[in-house]
Structure 1
Amino acid sequence: MLGRMGLGSEPVDLVVVGAGIVGLAHAAEGVRRGLRVAVVERDEFARGASVRNFGHGCVSGQAGAAFGYAKAARERWLELGRLAGFWAEPTGTVVAARSEEELAVLAEFAAAGAAPAELLDADGVRARVPLRAKTLLGGAWLPWDIRVDPREAVGALARWLASVGVTFHWRTAVTGLEPGVLRTSRGDLAAPAIVLATGHDLDWLFPELAERAGVRRCALQMLRVATPGPAARAPGDGERFGPGVLTGLSLLRYAGFAGCPSLPALRARFERERPDLLAVDMNLMFTQLPDGDLIIGDTHETAVTHLPFQAETVDDLVLAETADLLGVPAADLVVRERWRGYYASAPGREFLVAAPLPGARVVTVTTGIGMTTSHGLAAEVLADLIP
């Protein structure tokens, strides 16, 4: 029988540490299985990677285990959007190609058939998204991809989970872990199953585990800009983008394109013509918030500990490349917000799942695909942890 130790008087079956999307996905999966669930979060609300991203479920761009997780997560996001009342739509993605090498990679990807992809000419791209880049040659339509509003979805999901019986302990820090017991700044919490989903801060609790896996923090520079168009200085004005938009730099990043024979030629072209973009590890892409503003980015820099300073030259590069893709002067992109995102990164792996103690699992997504895969990953973790 479970003890009643410090936090709450009701016994629980599953404790989840972390109220970001990885943690909430495990809590939602616990609810689905009929478990009594508690969530422990050190902040007053989620403020990390789960709210700083594009809200883009890039199902089509995954491979291997991540592809399976992403397909499962796609259906779960759409279901939870209906249940929790947040916007989640199968908007698909348009990949904009501005070189022959990019077109070749997309043709090879479509021919492989792992995920559906419709090749488009330049007019076909423009029919789906209002891009006016003079260098636009064509692209592809990826219908499996989805979008959520990252600033709304995670909070709405937490509120819905609370409404169906999940207990949240906000502003509560974890200080230790023993078999069946979580030590926190507000007392102990006992449960037969504990999931620790602390993301890039894994080393706060398990430094040796993080060091063995090579976990570092990947810092992103991202911006929110007004969508170009008539009177676009007010939110809601400007042109509308239903799908997310990826570019040739995205083809270098996502594992689903890694097997395309033309990918080395594409990388060589970027190395030859745009080494400045590769130097900041740019993945040029954007999505649109419900109010019409665009989330644009992003760049990547890995370190265990980052300096707090954000380089304006990097933001300028993101703005210039976005403006070129949109076919507008960079001065027309009115910046509303700038921020740094962070997520866990580890060489040679996309996920870190470990069992530091009996009945406990550490779960960290070690690439920037947490929003895309977490719900599918959570189902597999809990199937193992709680058969």
Structure 2
Amino acid sequence: MTSHQPSDGSLDSADLVVVGAGIVGLAHAVDAVRRGLSVAVVERDERAVGASVRNFGHGCFTAQDGDALRYATAARTAWLSLAREAGLWLNEGGTVVVARADDEYAVLAEFSAARDGQAVLLDARAVAERVPVGPGVVGGAWLPMDVRVDPRQAVHAIAGWLARRGVRFHWATSAHAVEPDAVVTSRGRVEAGRVVVAVGHHVHRHFPDLAERSGLRGCALHMLRVADPHGRRVDPAVLSGFSLLRYDGFTACPTGPALRARMESAHPGLVGIGLNLMFTQRPDGDLIIGDTHAYAGTFDPFQAEELDRQVLEQTARLLGAGPLTVRERWRGVYASAPAPFLVATPMPGVRVVSVTSGIGMTTALGLAPEVLDDLLA
């Protein structure tokens, strides 16, 4: 690792300075450390509190397509390595997609045929053996390559591992200006060989023109933590027919458009709120359930109870359970844009990187090495 000493009056100096300590920023720090570079991370909060801790903790690798599938495949290997090295909790139970209609099962059958062993079709009985579900299930699919982490622990464990490897974190430190060879912060200047700006949907705070050209905005999600009504260990993540409308690997199937048309006709309100009916189980047994999707540049601070009600009602129906006991509620916000990834060069030696499709936990650790290959070249 290169030794860097800041000049007089500077806060720090490193081969790579990362702005943002969410999963995208940390992914770049991880790859830089593995290359032997010195790294400094600037984060405006005292710890990561954004989208990287407000998600399902679902490594949804298999359902991706195109570049996202390539990044996800690489990220899976990186997650497994970090689980061993950083001591973070990781479950390799895969994902079960529950089909409650014949056209949902048809999409899964096409997906399974196209993915050569990455998706195993299940009948209704096999679905019920793997995950708790209510009546009306016609079948499903198991995606064995997917994993789960605890989002409330994972990013903090990675940050701790990086700190032990010599990465210097400047917490509660705002980045005021980004320059080709430095980041000017609220605590002083951090000199940089290269800079990665990974601030999610807040790109406009540093590069407003870039954010506007990219069509970047926020996507707000309603999510909840509930007590498991069945008291059962659930190793896989669980997706539903609504999920088949949201992941590119499924929407690329020939029967995908017909499924969407039927869902929009049968459930216009639920499709309208962007419901991705799914859940994962935390290590303590509680379920993370959700989620809805709304898009804006700036969100009102008021959280509509109706959206939570819909999520709770539909999850209870999926589980075949009565009213669910809510432990916590929150709203996550991630970056969204027409393109699934934003990688831009606003000035020499600087890259702005944002996963603009809600799959940062799934892809960031595979995206970062390709960004650094280009940046360091």
Task: Please confirm whether the aligned pair reaches a TM-score higher than 0.5, indicating the same fold.
Answer: yes
After superposition, what is the alpha-carbon deviation per residue over 1:135-190, rounded to whole angstroms, capped at 9, x for unaligned? Answer: 11110000111110000000111011001100000010011122201111111111
Q: Secondary structure of 1:356's match? A: strand
Counterpart Cα distance in 2 of 1:189 and 1:198: 17
Name the CA distance, whole Å, in 2 between partners of 1:128 and 1:139.
11
Matched to 1:192, the amino acid is: G
- Structure 2 unaligned segments of length 5 or more: list them: none
Given candidates 288, 304, 326, the residue that maps to 2:297 is 304
Unaligned residue ranges in structure 1 (runs of 5+): 230-237
* 1:217-256 alignment, distance < 5 Å: 217-229=218-230, 238-256=231-249
Indicate which of 4, 18, 43 corresponds to 2:7: 4
Match of 1:378 among 360, 368, 374: 368
**CA 1:115 to 1:2, structure 2 compared with 1: closer, same or farther past 3 Å?**
farther
Instruction: Give how far 1:276 is off.
Output: 1.1
Do structure 1's residue 148 and structure 2's residue 149 form an aligned pair?
yes
In the alignment, which residue of structure 1 is the partner of 2:49? 47
Q: Pick from 24, 36, 39: which aligns with 2:38?
A: 36
Deviations 1:310-344 (A, max 9, x none): 11111111011100010012x2x100000000000
Instruction: Please give the alpha-carbon distance, in whole angstroms, between the structure 1 residues aligned to 2:151 and 2:8.
Output: 35
1:360 corresponds to which of 336, 350, 355: 350
Give me the whole-angstrom Cα distance separating, in 1, the residues matched to 2:236 and 2:137: 17
Pairing 1:202-351 to 2, within 5 Å after superposition: 202-229=203-230, 238-329=231-322, 331=323, 333-347=324-338, 349-351=339-341
Contact 1:6–1:189 (8 Å) recurs in 2: no
- Compare the two structures and name the one with the higher strand fraction: 2
2:284 aligns to what SS in structure 1?
coil
- Within 5 A, what are the aligned runs for 1:19-30? 19-30=21-32
Partner of 1:73: 75
Rounded to whole Å, the distance in 2 between the matches of 1:6 and 1:78 is 41
- Tell me: CA distance 1:302–1:114, structure 2 relative to 1, closer, same or farther (3 Å): farther
Residue 84 of structure 1, aligned match among 86, 96, 109: 86
Checking the alignment, whether the CA contact within 8 Å between 1:222 and 1:315 is kept in structure 2 is: yes
Q: Deviations over 1:259-285 (max 9, x none)?
A: 211111111111121111111010000
Amino acid in structure 1 at the alignment position of 2:153: E
Question: Structure 1 stretch 301-310 or stretch 113-122: which is displaced more?
Answer: 113-122
Name the residue aligned to 2:109: 107
CA contact (8 A) 1:88 1:149 kept: yes
How far apart, in 2, do the equivalents of 1:328 and 1:178 lie?
Answer: 55
Cα 1:279–1:63 change in 2 (3 A) is same
2:251 touches 2:257 (CA, 8 Å); kept in 1? no
8 Å CA contact 2:175, 2:184 repeated in 1? yes
2:11–2:188 Cα contact (<8 Å) kept: no
State the SS of the aligned residue for 1:192: strand
Q: How does 1:58-69 map to 2 (within 5 A)?
A: 58-69=60-71
Change in 2 beyond 3 A, CA 1:6/1:334:
farther
Q: How many residues of Structure 1 are paired with residues of Structure 2 in the alignment?
A: 374
- Distance in 1 (CA, whole Å) between partners of 2:9 and 2:262 is 60
Alignment TM-score, normalising by the size of structure 2: 0.97
**Alpha-carbon distance change, 383 to 115 in structure 1, aligned in 2, over 3 angstroms:** farther
Q: Which amino acid aligns with 1:47?
A: V
Q: 1:49 to 1:6 in 2, by over 3 A?
A: farther
In structure 1, the residue corresponding to 2:176 is in which secondary structure?
A: strand
AA of the residue aligned to 2:334: Y
Secondary structure, in 3 states, of the residue corresponding to 2:189?
A: strand
RMSD between superposed Cα atoms in Å: 1.2
Tell me, in whole angstroms, the C-alpha distance in 2 between the residues paired with 1:179 and 1:126.
Answer: 55
